[in-house]
């Protein structure tokens, strides 16, 4: 039997193991924030990967944002050396999941199997992908023991809150240097037949408008910061949103609606803080003297971050010149540059040929509307040969009754196994 057929059968034969592994991972609740049970899930992965012949290291991101003795940011990197020198293929999965939220009909940390699906928080984003990559690696090592190079599997903290206690920390410590890792696959839930080349850029900022407090019965004696913020929103509606809609990209972003520049108004707070739900009194009459807005601007590879920033600053400056009493401050909160791996990069080709073989059709190439840990691998690690590929439907991420399809996981693992064979098996 051809090695590739043997490999795909080997993975199919491990279906029950794949299901049990995914269930075990879901049953370790790694909610972030606050970032719980990272050590527990790393210990679990440690036992599993040691059994599979990997050398493992547990790394705490000491001093990183979010790391504390109460909620330490633990990460695991496991490496399996081949029989001969060669490249290293690294599978990186985040081990954290987002909060549960409302509307579940199954136990979010139960890992229930129903109708060919595994349910739970993190099932698709991305414990199913992590499990698929482990099964792919184990089956590949079993069917091709004389492989070249090395395979690495990492489980990293805090992707859902920026990745600073996870991939960013590891990248700063050199774990993703191109001298030691040559191919990176991040099994995020982008669908089993799609290769995600990268993501758009992010610019978050907080805008504050200033006013003057006064008695609410005599607003003319003060200056309302909320009305000034209203003028900011009006300027956005009149000029900025239409201009952003005109900025189209050649990046294959999905969904289609994100194939342009976007801006979200994340929050607005002005005037008295909201009272606790059990407060039964009335508000006091005051003119708000401060109003704050957080904006979330997503930009394209064709755009320059400096221009993205000045677009907002110019809008505010125009208001300062034209609107009596208007004054503001603006503060950057967060920035991520867009990232897009070339379509002819070796890891893209290897996964694309795996998709073609398993599904009998060409892979779709996509770009994510939001960012994920590729940003750190690209910017800090300086590694360009990186994609996201994994089972699960992106739209289910962070929703109630999140699930991953078992067939999808098996087929994705087969694609990963075939990619390993192409990159390390020759």
- What are the residue numbers of the active site? 96, 159
| 123 binds Zn ion per the rule CB under 5 A | no
Contact 72, 397 (CB under 8 A): no
Residue with Cβ nearer Zn ion (155 or 288): 155
- Which H/E stretch holds residue 307? helix 305-322
By CB under 5 A, which span of 120-128, 165-173, 200-208, 226-234 interacts with Zn ion?
Answer: 120-128
C-beta closer to Zn ion: residue 125 or 138: 125
Closer residue to Zn ion, CB minimum distance, 147 or 403: 403
Other beta carbons within 10 Å of 257: 9
The nearer residue to Zn ion, 188 or 193, going by C-beta atoms, is 188
DSSP three-state, residue 320: helix
Residue 125 in contact with Zn ion, rule: CB under 5 A = yes
Least distance from C-beta 394 to Zn ion, angstroms?
A: 9
Nearer to Zn ion, 161 or 357 (CB): 161
How many binding residues for Zn ion (CB under 5 A)? 3
Least distance between Zn ion and beta carbon 188 (Å): 5
Q: What percentage of the chain's residues is helix, strand, coil (to nearest 5)?
A: 35, 25, 40
Give the closest residue to 11 by CA, choosing from 131, 155, 189: 131
Tally of CB atoms within 10 A around 178: 12
> Interface with Zn ion includes 388 (CB under 5 A)?
no
Least distance between Zn ion and beta carbon 407 (Å): 21
Residues facing 93 on adjacent strands: 155
* 158 touches Zn ion by CB under 5 A: no
Nearer to Zn ion, 32 or 106 (CB): 32
Are 14 and 143 in contact by the 8 Å Cβ rule? The answer is no
In the shown chain, the binding pattern of residues 78 to 117 toward Zn ion, with x for contact by CB under 5 A and - for none, equals ----------------------------------------
DSSP H helical segments within 181-301, as ranges? Answer: 225-235, 241-246
- Least spacing, CB of residue 98 vs Zn ion, in Å: 9
Q: Which stretch binds Zn ion (CB under 5 A): 124-132, 232-240, 294-302, 327-335?
A: 124-132
Which residue lies nearer to Zn ion by CB, 187 or 252?
Answer: 187
Number of helices and strands (H, E) in the chain? 11, 16
User: In the 8-state DSSP scheme, what is residue 275?
Assistant: P
Q: How far is the CB of 281 from Zn ion (least distance, A)?
A: 43
In the complex, residue closest to Zn ion by CB = 125
We find the least distance from the C-beta atom of residue 164 to Zn ion, in angstroms, to be 15
Nearest distance, CB of residue 129 and Zn ion, angstroms? 8
Does 350 interact with Zn ion (rule: CB under 5 A)?
no
Question: Exposure string (b/e) for 62-84, b if CB count within 10 Å is 16 or more?
Answer: eebebbeeebbbbbbbbbbebee
With a CB cutoff of 8 Å and minimum separation 6, the contacts of 293 are 206, 207, 208, 229, 232, 233, 265, 266, 267, 268
Which range in 38-46, 56-64, 126-134, 251-259 contacts Zn ion by CB under 5 A? 126-134
Shortest approach of Zn ion to residue 126 CB, angstroms?
Answer: 5
Q: What is the largest CA-CA distance in the chain?
A: 87
Measure the CA–CA gap between 194 and 69, rounded to whole angstroms. 39
170-229 residues near Zn ion, rule: CB under 5 A = 188
Q: Rule CB under 5 A: say whether 151 interacts with Zn ion.
A: no
125/208 with CB nearer Zn ion: 125
Cα-flanking dihedrals φ and ψ of residue 100, to 5°? -75, -45
Phi, psi of 259 (to 5 degrees): -85, 35
For position 126 contacting Zn ion by CB under 5 A, the verdict is yes
Contact 74, 59 (CB under 8 A): yes
Q: Which residues of this chain interact with Zn ion, rule CB under 5 A? A: 125-126, 188
């Amino acid at each position: 039997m051809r090695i590739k057929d043997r490999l795909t059968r080997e993975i199919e034969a491990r279906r029950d193991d794949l299901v049990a592994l995914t269930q075990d991972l879901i049953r370790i609740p790694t909610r972030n924030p606050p970032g719980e049970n990272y050590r527990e899930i790393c210990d679990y992965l440690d036992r599993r990967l040691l059994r599979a012949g990997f050398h493992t290291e547990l790394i705490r991101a000491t001093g990183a944002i979010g790391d504390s003795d109460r909620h330490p940011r633990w990460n695991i990197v496991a490496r399996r050396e081949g029989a001969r020198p060669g490249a290293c293929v690294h599978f990186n999965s985040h081990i954290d999941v987002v909060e549960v939220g409302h509307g579940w009909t199954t136990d979010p940390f139960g890992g229930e199997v129903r109708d060919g699906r595994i349910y739970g928080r993190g099932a698709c984003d991305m414990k199913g992908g992590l499990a698929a990559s482990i099964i792919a690696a184990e089956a590949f090592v079993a069917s091709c023991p004389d492989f070249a190079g090395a395979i690495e599997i990492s489980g990293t903290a805090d992707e859902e809150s920026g990745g600073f206690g996870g991939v960013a920390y590891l990248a700063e410590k050199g774990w993703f240097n191109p001298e030691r890792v040559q191919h990176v696959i991040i099994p995020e839930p982008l669908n089993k037949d799609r290769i995600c080349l990268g993501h758009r850029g992010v610019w978050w900022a907080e805008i504050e408008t200033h006013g003057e407090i006064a008695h609410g019965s005599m607003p003319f004696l003060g200056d309302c910061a909320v009305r000034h913020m209203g003028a900011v929103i009006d300027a956005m509606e009149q000029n900025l949103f239409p201009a952003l809609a005109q900025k189209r990209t050649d990046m294959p972003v999905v969904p289609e609606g994100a194939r342009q520049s976007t801006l979200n108004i994340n929050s607005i707070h002005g005037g008295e803080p909201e009272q606790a739900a059990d407060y039964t009194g009335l508000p006091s009459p005051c003119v708000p003297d401060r109003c704050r807005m957080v904006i979330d601007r997503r930009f394209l590879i064709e755009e320059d971050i400096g221009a993205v920033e000045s677009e907002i600053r110019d809008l505010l400056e125009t208001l300062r010149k034209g609107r009596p009493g208007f004054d503001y401050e603006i503060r950057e909160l967060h920035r991520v540059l867009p990232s897009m791996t070339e379509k002819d990069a070796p890891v893209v080709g290897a996964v694309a040929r795996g998709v073609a073989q398993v599904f009998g059709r060409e892979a779709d190439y996509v770009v994510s509307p939001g960012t994920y840990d590729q940003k750190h691998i690209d910017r800090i690690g300086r590694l360009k040969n990186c994609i996201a590929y994994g089972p699960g439907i992106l739209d289910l991420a962070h929703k109630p009754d999140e699930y991953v399809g078992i067939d999808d996981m098996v087929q994705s693992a087969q694609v990963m196994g075939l990619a390993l064979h192409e990159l390390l098996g020759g």
